A and B are shown apart, each in its own frame.
Chain A
Amino acid sequence: MIERSSAWFERYLVPPLGALASNVYLQAVRDAFIIFTLPLILAGSLFLIVANPPIPALATFIAPYQQDILVPFQLSFGLMALFLSFGVAYSLAQYRRTEAVQPGVLAMVLFLIASVPVRDLTNLNFGEVLPYLGGQGLLVGILIGILTTEVMRRFRGSRFTIRLPKSVPPNVTRAFEALVPAVLLITLIWGVEWFVSIHTFTGADGKLQQLTLPILLMRAFQPLVFVQDSYPAALLEIILMMLLWSVGIHGMNVVTAIALPFWLSTLTANATAGGHGIVTEPFFHIFAHLGGSGATWPLVIYMLRSHSAQLRTVGKVALGPAIFNINEPVTFGVPMALNPLMMIPFVLVPVIIVTINYIVFSIGLVHVPVVLQPFTVPVGISGFVATGGDFRGSLLQFFDLAVSAIIYYPFFKAWERILVAREEAATVQPVEKNVRIPAGVR
């Protein structure tokens, strides 16, 4: 029964989910975020925490210097879209097996041209542009990163590029090869931006402001940002994540690549403008995936004292990683992936946790997430940090763990019985060596 249904999943569920996860643009966005943007966001967040201490007495002391302390934050976290445009162009070039640094640098130039109105720049107010170089400019940054690499790689080796004699060193040749597409792209983006910034709109301060590409795109996508920060969207995202993991695909990675611009713009609004957005990156990484995707922390504890030798072995290996919210040993060892029995709580537990947390955040029982941190920060600490120093954030995590422990228990016991029966059968008939590895894994 278990074998037959997992074959069904392998046949009908894996291909469409796999196709989504293999999209090269999504992979490039994901890589760019992890490699180029995340370190800057994390470093910048430290200054955000210092500028907003959770202790009131300290906060009063810091208040006069708050904006000064925020300068490193503004120029790292605050410029994330600029660095993301580099990262997307660079990572995509790696996937396309072409030179990566040139498209990366060009993408940053193009992104800046797209984000600044076409006018006399010597008297431009930097504060007006700043939001669109960070949280509000992520979509433009991603699109420009993709465009740059796709255009540049088509010019490489084509007829429409400057040719130099073979004796010229390859580095010089590369620089000249990049010249034609660079000029072309710069002209294109500048031309579009010029057209866009002929138009004006009334800003929040009542003054007329020139339109730019990020402002235009943000206005177009504002409804989507709004919709994304809702319970149905959160539910959809967590279900997609866990369905992917259920067939053994890194679900958080795939969903992150799609939802990231929305999560980050909501989080930026929380961090800098006193927003109350809920559906952000920490909402999933810090408050739902306790001990790893699927909130599998309690399972590890159960496994340590299991009657099944297989589960005990996995439990011992899984304990250390679980502290840092890494649970591949659980996912592939229990296994959860392609195991029709364990897939049920694997999806159900995070769905229920997300539901509880959404309610808790929306009625204000716990401060909404404001700080981004590595997903490897242990449960308990991470809830406190993510909420900008609200100890109830940690309490919520522990409450969610208790919920997870209760739901997983009956499924764990049922799976344990199946494994113990298999293990006993294996010791009676030592010929069938492979029965200790559950069929669901294969």
Chain B
Amino acid sequence: MTRLVGGVAIVMIRVLIVCSWGMSTSLLVDSMLAAAVASGYELTVEALSAGEYAARVEECDVVLIAPQIRHLRKSIEKLAASVGKPVALIEPFHYATMNGQAVLEQVLSLFSGVQEG
């Protein structure tokens, strides 16, 4: 399925969420995927620990940081910047309420930012 995001046709957006054990994030992932299906985007979302993220950062389009590892933000951002991936912290309240729609919008704006820049 091809959609226009930021004026560019895309096929699929690959998202990595850096978190701690992936237990709570998996709930958010489900909610994001449901939101993506509802609005017609194709999305893959993976929740990883910071170490797995370091090994696999190249395999994604957008990086998100779960609030409970906020303290790792600088090193995560540095690595993402070195390979040109957009990165952002998930708003804690959106994370708490497992608001997949809001986080999806965050992904889309990050993704379109890269496409334009």
Q: In the complex the two chains form, is B67's CB within 8 Å of A332's CB?
A: yes
Residue A5 at the chain B interface, CB threshold 8 Å: no
Q: Which residue of A lies closest to B66 (CB)?
A: A328
A-side contacts of B23, CB under 8 Å: 324, 326, 376
Residues 58-78 of B contacting A (Cβ, < 8 Å)? 67-72, 75
Q: In the complex the two chains form, is B21's CB within 8 Å of A253's CB?
A: yes
Residue B6 at the chain A interface, CB threshold 8 Å: no
**A249-B52 contact in complex given A332-B93, A332-B95, A441-B93, C-beta closer than 8 Å:** no
Residues 83-104 of B contacting A (Cβ, < 8 Å)? 92-93, 95-98
Q: How far is the CA of A158 from the CA of B111 in the complex (A)?
A: 38
Q: In the complex the two chains form, is A317's CB within 8 Å of B71's CB?
A: no
Q: How far is the CA of A22 from the CA of B93 in the complex (A)?
A: 23
Main secondary structure on A side of the interface with B: helix
0/1 interface trace, chain A 320-339, chain B, CB 8 Å (1 if under): 11001010111111110100
How many A residues face the partner with a CB closer than 8 A? Answer: 41
A-B contact count (CB 8 A): 92
Q: How far is the CA of A372 from the CA of B81 in the complex (A)?
A: 40
Q: Separation in Å of the B22 CB from the closest CB of chain A?
A: 9
Classify chain B: how many residues form its interface, as a range.
20 to 34
Q: Separation in Å of the B35 CB from the closest CB of chain A?
A: 15
Q: How far is the CA of A329 from the CA of B67 in the complex (A)?
A: 11
B-side contacts of A321, CB under 8 Å: 24, 27
Q: In the complex the two chains form, is B96's CB within 8 Å of A249's CB?
A: no
Q: Which residue of A lies closest to B49 (CB)?
A: A31
Residue B51 at the chain A interface, CB threshold 8 Å: yes
Q: Which residue of A lies closest to B95 (CB)?
A: A332
Residue A437 at the chain B interface, CB threshold 8 Å: yes
Given A22-B75, A335-B93, A437-B93, 13 more A-B residue pairs with CB atoms under 8 Å apart are: A14-B71, A18-B70, A92-B51, A94-B51, A95-B51, A100-B55, A249-B70, A250-B68, A326-B24, A328-B95, A330-B96, A334-B96, A335-B92
Binding site for B on A (CB under 8 A): 14, 17-19, 21-22, 27-28, 31, 34-35, 91-92, 94-97, 100, 248-250, 253, 313-314, 317, 320-321, 324, 326, 328-335, 337, 376, 437, 441
